Amino acid sequence: MDHFDYRDGVLHAEDVSLAAIAEAVGTPAYVYSRATLARHARVFREGLAALPSVHLAYAVKANPNLAVLKVLAAEGFGADVVSVGEMERALAAGMPASGIVFSGVGKTGAEMARALAAGIGQFNLESEEEGVELAAIAAALGKTAQAALRVNPDVDAGTHGKISTGKAENKFGVPYDRADGIYARLAALSGSGPGLAMRGLAVHIGSQLASLAPLEAAFTKMGELMRAIRAQGLAVTHMDLGGGIGVPYKAGEIFPSPAEYGAMVARVTADWGATLMFEPGRVIAGNSGVLLTRVIRVKPGVSCPFVIVDAAMNDLARPALYDAWHDFLAVAPTGEAMTANIVGPICESSDTFAMGRPIDAVAPGDLAVFRTAGAYGATMASTYNSRALVPEVMVDGNRWAVVAERIDPATILAAERVPEWLD
């Protein structure tokens, strides 16, 4: 459920007309609903209410906007970060360092040192080599790095190949059948002094999962691994089950609910005796945002017209990257319908949002939205084709604010330099 609804024929975010926001801020622009974000955070937490010990770490990469992080910090979420840049955002939003998990396959030594200095709660190691390096950096700094080993369970998440992370050939984690040995060797690195403290296992098999079955298969394997490691006399107190629950991008699609997910987790982990950690991203932010756009022009095509909108693949990359679907709705629909190709102005054929799609009839100058754009939307934006970096707005009841300004091409041009030998 979200808070984007028609009132008097005009699409609103909570109590604010999207037409009013477009008037004030211009287009394209992302619009987030605070109430929707907070609601998704609560529903996710409630879904896990039966579990004894839970830590929630919002996957910052889904939507790292500072105001978004503030809302989630107020809901008691920590953060799953994949760079020091994301860590600094989580800290700036007031999330406690102890609630931050540092994931990512290519953490640099400098990033590890910075995260240790900040006192983050857990490093999710993606290789034995990374663990050895972290142990040395922590010891040199007189710090103890709490760590989990990310395991690749070789489970097919059944999602798009580019957001699948848990197959043996993917770059993430250590191979399942070598994980117990690696865990034992890394655990042996922790002496009595500072350094590495292995405390758990982590898994994340992919994103936009439409079914719980692959997650259940992965968690079941992780439980077996946990028992095997404990049987060696080693402690495993934390089990990080990652993120990945999908969201409906098409009206009417049904996805597993947080309650169903929580029930499955409770069943699989009943006898684990570990703190369970979760890293939801898309399920929190996805339906909390729309990309507001204006139709520039409608031009005839071979089989149906091209609706050319002022948003493009640099603002919302998902259709170009993953062939993703985003529902397209007129802000003030006339009741008429049309079938169209929806495209942006960028000079690439991949700058296509939809082909031959039945949509609300729109004409040049009309406003429209791409729905479910709150996750992996603005965060992936670029300035390709020397376009502006898209602004972001947050609505809260009847008030709203720009939470990320549009960065115009002139500002980006001003950061470029021509060396004197070219002048």
Q: Which residues bind ligand PLP (CB under 6 A)?
A: 59, 61-62, 80, 103, 204, 207, 242-244, 279-283
Helices (H), 17-171: 18-25, 34-47, 66-74, 84-92, 109-118, 128-141
Catalytically annotated residue among 347, 410, 415, 422: 347
Collapsing DSSP states into helix, strand and coil, what is residue 89?
Answer: helix
Supply 420's token pair: 């004197």
CB burial class (10 A; 0-12, 13-18, 19+) of residue 101? buried
Whole-number minimum distance, CB 62 to ligand PLP, in Å?
Answer: 5
In degrees, to the nearest 5, what angle opens at C-alpha 14 toward C-alphas 8 and 20?
65
- The whole-angstrom separation of Cα 165 and Cα 390 is 29
Whole-number minimum distance, CB 102 to ligand PLP, in Å?
Answer: 10
Whole-number minimum distance, CB 347 to ligand PLP, in Å?
Answer: 30
Q: Quick one: which of 66, 112, 105, 70 has its CA closest to 89?
A: 66
Whole-number minimum distance, CB 284 to ligand PLP, in Å?
Answer: 8
CB-nearer residue toward ligand PLP: 294 or 318: 318
CB-nearer residue toward ligand PLP: 62 or 331: 62
CB-nearer residue toward ligand PLP: 280 or 344: 280
Q: Which residues pair with 307 in a beta bridge?
A: 298, 342
CB-nearer residue toward ligand PLP: 47 or 242: 242
Backbone phi and psi for residue 34, each to the nearest 5 degrees, phi listed first? -60, -45
347 is known as an active-site residue: yes
Tell me the CA distances in angstroms from 272 to 5, 251, 279, one per residue in order: 43, 38, 19
CB-nearer residue toward ligand PLP: 242 or 377: 242
CB-nearer residue toward ligand PLP: 27 or 103: 103
- The whole-angstrom separation of Cα 61 and Cα 286 is 12
3-state SS of the chain: helix, strand, coil percent to 5?
35, 25, 40
Under a CB-based contact definition with an 8 Å cutoff, are residues 204 and 214 in contact? Answer: no
Whole-number minimum distance, CB 309 to ligand PLP, in Å?
Answer: 26
Whole-number minimum distance, CB 285 to ligand PLP, in Å?
Answer: 8
Contacts of 133 (CB under 8 A, 6+ apart): 109, 112
- The whole-angstrom separation of Cα 194 and Cα 28 is 50
Q: Would you please indicate which residues are annotated as catalytic (active-site) residues?
A: 347
